């Protein structure tokens, strides 16, 4: 049986479309995985994409999500910056950079042993002027996004920090108004658990700050960021309550640490 002219044309069109699609996919693969012309390409299946291990929270310190989207997508006067996500005050989530790529959001800084924060983290900007409480729809969306990212990218839920935590000498976001305890109640970030107790004699609060993750190049700045995060207040010197909080956090990170005997107030309030 001979194919009709219409059938032949349809078959030719399909083959041509398949060939074009294959060429497109090949070009796309090459664009995402460029090969060095100096080397012979001998592909191995033993590789993976780079995976973030940390999530960094920011506030935009601008007046609207639209303004921030423009800032994060253009070469603004302060230099090009970006983030993986922006969450508006109404809770709308915008994505600007794929999770697997490196957004320009953290800049110089350190958290524990991590020094290249842009390569190791996901950046989330919150539309906020930094002077008023964060809107609840925004925090609700943040919690949904954190649930997605920590599950899908296998980021430990404790690895949620603020921009000021990694760069206390130059940043102050998300600031003392950010509801870290609400995140902790949902299972994200580090937070004191159970009764706060007086640490044993010889307890070094600065060593504890380093164990938590803070760099100690500028101890006053580190104390300010710690106060914003864990006490929602200002101040650049550590007091007795700070030592109790730090001892509690170190016990979570290093379970072999000694437990304390004398209970103190539970809440890490100022």
With tokens 């957004």, the residue in question is 103
Tokens 């103190």 found at: 264
Contact 91, 141 (CB under 8 A): yes
**Contact in structure between 141 and 124 (CB atoms under 8 Å):** no
From the list 87, 125, 184, 242, the catalytic residue is 125
- Does residue 254 carry a catalytic annotation? no
Burial grade of 153 (CB within 10 A; 0-12, 13-18, 19 or more):
middle
Residues 6+ apart with CB under 8 A from 160: 54, 55, 57, 146, 183, 188, 189
Kindly state the tokens that stand for 171.
């940043």
CB atoms within 10 A of CB 260: 18
Are β-strands 196-197 and 263-264 bridged in parallel, bridged antiparallel, or unpaired? antiparallel
CA-to-CA dists, residue 4 to 1, 16, 17, 245, 251, angstroms? 9, 18, 20, 82, 79
Q: Which residues are CB-neighbours of 264 under 8 A, at least 6 positions away?
A: 195, 196, 197, 198, 241, 244
Contacts of 74 (CB under 8 A, 6+ apart): 80
User: Which amino acids are annotated catalytic?
Assistant: 125
């Amino acid at each position: 049986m001979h194919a009709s002219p219409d059938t032949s044309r349809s078959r030719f069109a399909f083959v041509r479309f398949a060939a074009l699609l294959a060429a497109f996919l090949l070009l796309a693969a090459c664009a995402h995985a460029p090969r060095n012309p100096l080397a012979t390409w001998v592909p191995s299946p033993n590789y993976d994409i780079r995976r973030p291990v940390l999530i960094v929270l920011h506030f935009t310190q601008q007046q609207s999500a639209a303004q921030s989207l423009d800032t994060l997508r253009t070469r603004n006067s302060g230099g090009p910056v970006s983030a993986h996500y922006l969450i508006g005050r109404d809770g709308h989530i915008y994505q600007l950079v794929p999770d697997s790529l490196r957004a320009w959001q953290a800049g110089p800084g350190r958290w524990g042993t991590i020094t290249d924060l842009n390569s190791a983290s996901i950046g989330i900007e919150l539309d906020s002027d930094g002077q008023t409480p964060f809107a609840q729809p925004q925090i609700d969306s943040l919690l949904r996004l954190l649930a997605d990212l920590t599950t899908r990218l296998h980021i430990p839920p404790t690895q949620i920090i603020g921009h000021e935590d990694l760069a206390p000498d130059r940043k102050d976001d998300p600031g003392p108004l950010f509801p870290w305890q609400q995140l902790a109640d949902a299972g994200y970030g580090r937070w004191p658990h159970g009764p706060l107790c007086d640490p044993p004699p010889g307890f070094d609060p600065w060593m504890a700050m380093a164990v938590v993750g803070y760099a100690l190049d500028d101890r006053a700045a580190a104390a300010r960021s710690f106060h914003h995060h864990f006490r929602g207040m200002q101040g650049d010197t550590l007091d007795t309550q700070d030592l109790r909080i730090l001892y509690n956090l170190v016990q979570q990170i290093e379970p072999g640490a000694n437990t304390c005997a004398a209970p103190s107030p539970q809440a890490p309030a100022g």
